[in-house]
A and B are shown apart, each in its own frame.
Chain A
Amino acid sequence: MTGVDTGAARGPTLAARLGIDRSVTIAFGCILLILCGGALYSREFLSPEYLLQQLQVGAFLGIIASGAMMVILLGHIDLSIPWVVTLGAMMATAMVGWGGAAGVWLCIPFGVFCGAVVGVLNGLGVAYLRLPSMIFTLGMNAVVQGLMVLHTGGFAPLDQATPAMHFMAVQRSLFGIPNAVFVWALVGIFVIYVLKRTAFGRAVYAVGNRESAAYLSGVNTNRVLIGCFAFSGAMAAFAGVLLAGYSNKAYQNMGDAYLLPAIAAVVLGGTNILGGRGNYLGTIAGVILITLLQSILSVMQMPEAGRQVIYGCVIIAMLLIYGRGAKARS
C-alpha cells in the first residue's frame, strides 16, 4: 500500500482513462504480431489497399460485435445473431418489392427494425420470464430461421439490394476509405457515448456486475436488459442489411459465419464474458484481430479444416492468458 500514496493525488493515468488496459494492449500487440508475421510471408500484407480491405470486411463484424458487447456486458449472451443477420438482409431486400417507390427508402430502417423486434422479444424473455439468455436466444434463432425459410420457400430470394445499401457497404467516397468503415465508426461512437456518458450505460455495467444491487439502487434493470438485447438485434440486422448490399442479395445462412467471431472479438477485447467489465476500444481491437487472423489464414491457403483448428486454438490460448492475468491480479 505504500506505493499507492503517490498515486492518490494524481488519479488514474491517461491510459486508464482511455480504457487501455492489459487485455487491450495484448490484443493490439497480437494485431501487430500478425501483421509482421504476414509481412514476412508477403509484402502485400502491409499495403494500404490490403489493410483498407480488411477494415471494410471487419466493419460488418464490428457492427455485430457492438451489439453483442452490450449484451455480454450484462453477463448475458445473444445466440440469435446468425439468423437475425439473415433476417435483416432478407427483410430489407424484400421491402423493396413490397413498398415500391417508398420501399427503396424504407428498406434499411425496416430491416433494422425487424432485428430490433427480435431483440426486444429476447429481452422480454430474459427480463420478465427470467429464462437463461443462452437458451432463449438460441430458441429465437431457430424461430427466425423457420420464419425466413417460410418467407423464401427455402430458396435464395430473388430480391436485389438497393443502391443505398450498396453505397454503404461497398463504395468509397472519402480518401478512398470504405463507407462501411464510417458506418462502423458512427455505431462505435454511439456505443462509447452510451457507455461513458449516460445513466443507461452506467446501469449496463451495474447490472452486469450485480443485478440485485443495481435493482435495489433503483435501476430499472428490466429496461436495461430489453434495451441491450434490442440494440444487439438491431445491430445484427443492420450488419445483415450491409452484407446484402455487399453481395447484392440476401441468401440463406449468410449470418452463420458471424456468431463465434462476434463473441470472440468482444471477449478477446477484454470484455468479461460474465459481464460488468469491458470497453469499446477492446472490442475494436478484437474485431481487427479476428478479421486479420481469418484473412491471413485464408491467404496462406491453409485448408478450411486447418483454419478452423488454428482459429479456435488462438481464441482459447488468448483467453487462457487473460484468465491467468485476472487471477494473478486478484
Chain B
Amino acid sequence: MSDRKPYLELKRISKRYGGVSALTEVDFSVYPGEIQAVLGENGAGKSTLIKIASGVTDPTEGEVFIEGRPVRFKSPTEAMRAGVVCVFQELSLLPEMTVADNLSIVDPPKWLGMIDAKGQRDRARALLKRVGCEDVHPLELVRNLPLSRRQMVEIAKALGRDPRILILDEATSALTADDVERVYGIIRDLKKSGVGILYVSHRMREIEALADTATVFRNGRKIETFTKGARSVDAIIEMMIGREVTHQYPPKPEPLDAKAEAGKPVALAAANLAWGREIQGVSFNLRKGEIVGLGGLDGQGQRELLLALFGVLKGVSGTVAVDGKPISLDGPRQAMHAPLPMALIPEDRKTEGLMLPMSVRDNMTLAALPRLLGRFGIDGDKENAAVQRMVDRLRVKTPNLDAPVSALSGGNQQKVVLAKWLMTAPGIILLNDPTRGIDVGTKQEIYRLMRELANQGAAILFYSTDYAELIGCCDRVLVVYDGKIRRELAGEALNERNLLQSALNIDASEQAA
C-alpha cells in the first residue's frame, strides 16, 4: 500500500470533553479502494473518531488531511463536499418528509431556481434501485417505512452524495439478512470503484467477511492496524481488552455451591419477558442478597429490560413474580409497592433521576414523602433529619440541604439519586449504568454501597457498560445479545475474555474450530 496515498488522513488527533479524554494522539488513514474495520469496546473512541472524520465535532488537537491537503471541517456538509460521507447509527432522516425529499435534502435538482420535483423523483428512483429498494415509492413519507427500509434509504442518501470515503457506523444493526447481503454487495462495488470504506461493527463475522484491514482502539488510543488474517480472533479480543489495573472492588462472598445457591430465596423471577425488538424472551431469577450483572454490548436490550421490570414500558408480555407473588408491570408506583419494594436508578440522572433546579432535600425525599408526613402535612424536622442521615451515610458533599442539585458534582448528584431510593427501603434495586461519567472515588463508594445493601438482603440487578466493573462487583453476570440472555457467567468463568466473547456472540466451541 505504500505506493498509494491515503485519501483521508488524521494526524495526532486528540479529543477531550471537559476533563475526559475520548481520543489521545491517534494517527489514522483510509486509502481509496480499501475496506477498513474499526474495532473496540464501548467507549474506546470509535464514535469520536468518526465524528471528527465526518465533521460533526472538531478535534481538540491534531490535523485532518484530504489527499494530503490539510482541512478543517466546520460542519458535516463541508466534509461531504470533500467526499467524506457518513451513515450514522442514529438515523438522520426527516420522518415527515418524503423519501425523495430526504434523498435530495442538501442539493435538490433545480429548475429556474425552484426545486425540480420530477428530477428529484427520478434521482430518488435511481438511488433506491441502487440499494435494491425498488419497492419503496419515492413519494412515501419516511415515517411510514419500517426501520430496516429507513436504514436502506439512509444508505441510499449517502450514496447520492458520491462519497470518496464512506463511513458506516453500525449500519447493518437494524437490517434484515437479505438487506445485509445487499449492503455487502454495495460495499464491494464501491470498493472496486475506488471508494474507501470505514466500517464500524460489533459483529466479528461481518468484519471477517468484508474487511481488508482492521484497526483496534482501546481507551481512546489506537492499538494497532493490521491486514485481515494477520491476527486471530483471540488476539484481537486480547487487544480490545488490554491489560489494565482495575479499580478496587469490595470482597465478594464465597460463591455457594449449586444446591445452597438454589436454596436462597428468590426475590424476583422473570419469565419470557418480551417487548418489541429489544427484549425477545428473557427469563431469569434474582435472589436475595445477590448482585447480578447485565453484560453485553451497549444497546442489546439491557436498558429496556430494566425499564420493563420497573413497569415503565407499555405492552410488555411475560410474567414477573416478586417474592413469589406475580406483579403487574403498570408503572413505577406499582413497582414501588411490590411485595419487595423496587427501585430504579435511571440511566440519565439529569433528565430521569433529578429535578436539577430543586434542592438536595426536595430531590431526596420525593419518592418517600408518605413516610415523612406529620399531623399537618410534611413534617419539616422529620424530613430534614432523614435527609441529613442520608447525606452523612453516603457522604454527599453539598453546601447545605437547600442547595440546588445542579450545584453538585456528577458523583454527588448520583449519590442524591441513590439516596432518594434508599429512603424507600427497597428490596430490589435496578441499576442502569449508575457509574457512568463519575469520578473513580465515587465509583468505589457506590461499589461498596451495593455490596453493603446486598449483604443486608437486597437483590440487585446491575447493568453496566464497563466490563471490569461487572466482573469486580457481580456474583454472576447475564450476557445479553440482541434481546436475549446468551450466557450466564459466574465464579471463575466470569472474566473479561468470556464476557467479551459472549458479548460479541462468539461461541467458544466455534472459535476452537
Contact = CB atoms under 8 A, between A and B. Distances in A.
The A interface is mostly helix, strand or loop, or mixed, namely: helix
A216 B430 CA distance: 12
Interface stretch (A5-13, A64-72, A245-253): A5-13
A205 B399 CA distance: 22
Nearest to B349: A213
A218 B333 contact: yes
Contacts of B333: 218-220
A59 to B, nearest CB: 26
Contacts of A79: none
A276 B358 contact: yes
Nearest to A330: B406
B97 interface: no
A217 B356 contact: no
Contacts of B365: 202
A55 B173 CA distance: 67
Contacts of A307: none
B366 interface: yes
Contacts of B353: 213, 216
A277 interface: yes
Interface in A208-251: 209-210, 212-220
B373 interface: yes
Interface string A1-20: 00010011111100010000
A260 B331 CA distance: 38
A24 interface: no
B355 interface: yes
A220 B366 CA distance: 11
B344 A206 contact: no
Contacts of A217: 332, 366-367, 420
B377 A193 contact: yes
Contacts of A328: none
A108 to B, nearest CB: 27
Contacts of A193: 377
Given A12-B400, A199-B378, A202-B378, A216 B355 contact: no
Interface residues of B, number: 33
Nearest to B359: A12
Contacts of B399: 4, 7-8
B357 A277 contact: yes
Nearest to B307: A216
Contact of B366 (A16, A198, A212, A219): A219
Interface residues of A, number: 30
A210 B312 contact: no
Interface centre among A206, A213, A214 (most CB of B within 10 A): A213
B38 interface: no
B400 A7 contact: yes
A16 B402 CA distance: 10
Contacts of A212: 351-352
Contacts of B34: none
A205 B362 contact: yes
A206 B361 CA distance: 12
Interface in A273-324: 276-277
A214 B367 CA distance: 9
A197 B352 contact: no
B402 A11 contact: yes
Contacts of A8: 399-400
Contacts of A209: 355-358
Interface in A177-221: 193, 196-199, 202-203, 205-206, 209-210, 212-220
Nearest to B334: A218
Contacts of A210: 351-352, 354-356
Contacts of B373: 199
Contacts of B210: none
A277 B312 CA distance: 27
Contact of A216 (B332, B357, B370, B401): B332
A202 B366 CA distance: 7
A205 B400 contact: no
B402 A12 contact: yes
A213 B351 contact: yes
Contact of A276 (B331, B357, B420): B357
Nearest to A207: B355
B357 A199 contact: no
A199 B352 contact: no
Contacts of A213: 346, 351-355
B356 A198 contact: no
B17 interface: no
A165 to B, nearest CB: 31
A220 B334 CA distance: 10
Given A197-B378, A214-B355, A216-B353, A202 B362 contact: yes
Interface of A: 4, 7-12, 16, 193, 196-199, 202-203, 205-206, 209-210, 212-220, 276-277
30 contacts: A7-B399, A8-B400, A11-B400, A11-B401, A11-B402, A193-B377, A196-B377, A197-B378, A198-B378, A199-B369, A199-B370, A199-B378, A202-B362, A202-B365, A202-B369, A202-B378, A205-B358, A209-B358, A210-B351, A210-B352, A210-B355, A213-B355, A215-B332, A216-B310, A216-B312, A216-B332, A216-B344, A216-B346, A216-B353, A277-B357
Q: Please list the 8 inter-chain residue pairs (A to B) with the smallest Cβ-Cβ separation, ordered nearest first.
A: A197-B377, A209-B355, A199-B369, A217-B367, A218-B336, A12-B402, A218-B332, A218-B333
Given A206-B358, A210-B355, 15 more contacts: A7-B400, A10-B400, A11-B401, A11-B402, A198-B377, A205-B355, A209-B358, A210-B351, A213-B355, A215-B331, A216-B332, A216-B352, A217-B367, A218-B332, A220-B333
